[in-house]
Chain A
Amino acid sequence: NAGVTQTPKFRVLKTGQSMTLLCAQDMNHEYMYWYRQDPGMGLRLIHYSVGEGTTAKGEVPDGYNVSRLKKQNFLLGLESAAPSQTSVYFCASNLGLAGTDTQYFGPGTRLTVL
């Protein structure tokens, strides 16, 4: 099992550019999450999905969109990148509801917006 994988690992964007971050899991998990991690702020939830075809907003959803067309994939999109979106992005997945069992994290994507 590869677990949770994220593509790409690093990316530099200019303000206003768009991009999509891909998260894939091979554990047949229903629940998937996107977090951002900034120094001194901890992990903050952006969007999440409780199953294929569903998405919901987390704590900091503005400026991001997501899609879960296939159970194993969860995409995070930035339509018009801003310097405030410079961060490390982590994808995670759970078999059951987050908090009630192990949450598995990907290796992260380091995004810099100039």
Chain B
Amino acid sequence: SQKIEQNSEALNIQEGKTATLTCNYTNYSPAYLQWYRQDPGRGPVFLLLIRENEKEKRKERLKVTFDTTLKQSLFHITASQPADSATYLCALFYNQGGKLIFGQGTELSVKP
């Protein structure tokens, strides 16, 4: 079965730096890969979607890369702010299964 690995340890960075979060998967590459943000006590909120034939996607200060050779997606937040502190989830979609599979999430803390 597919496995998704996100950094289990929290990532602590200084305000203004670039935060980089990793999502690794096993076996087959997904058709789509998504990133969500989750704040404590709230439901996840969709951020970005990238397709398997896309290498990179950007949205404002966010950038996602998708490397099907390494079986890895990187999620970058540039010029990070304390308001970016949250847990970030990656999710994979396979056409065969027809459902999203979520990673366990990585907690990001941006210090002023």
A residues touching B (Cβ–Cβ < 8 Å)?
4, 33, 35, 40-45, 48, 58, 90, 92, 97-108
Contact = CB atoms under 8 A, between A and B. Distances in A.
B41 A99 contact: no
Interface string B59-95: 0000000000000000000000000000001011110
B44 A90 contact: yes
Nearest to A106: B43
A48 B94 CA distance: 16
A98 B30 CA distance: 13
- Name the interface size band of chain B: 20 to 34
23 contacts: A4-B43, A42-B89, A42-B103, A42-B104, A43-B89, A43-B91, A43-B102, A90-B43, A99-B93, A99-B98, A99-B100, A100-B32, A100-B93, A101-B49, A102-B46, A103-B34, A103-B36, A103-B100, A104-B46, A105-B44, A105-B45, A106-B43, A108-B43
Given A100-B93, A103-B44, 9 more contacts: A40-B104, A41-B104, A42-B102, A43-B102, A90-B44, A98-B93, A103-B34, A103-B46, A105-B44
B31 interface: yes
B30 to A, nearest CB: 8
A29 to B, nearest CB: 13
Contacts of B44: 43, 90, 103, 105
A71 B94 CA distance: 25
B8 interface: yes
B105 A42 contact: yes
Contact of B99 (A99, A101, A105): A99
A41 B104 CA distance: 5
Contacts of A100: 31-32, 93
A113 B46 CA distance: 30
Contact of B43 (A41, A98, A105): A105
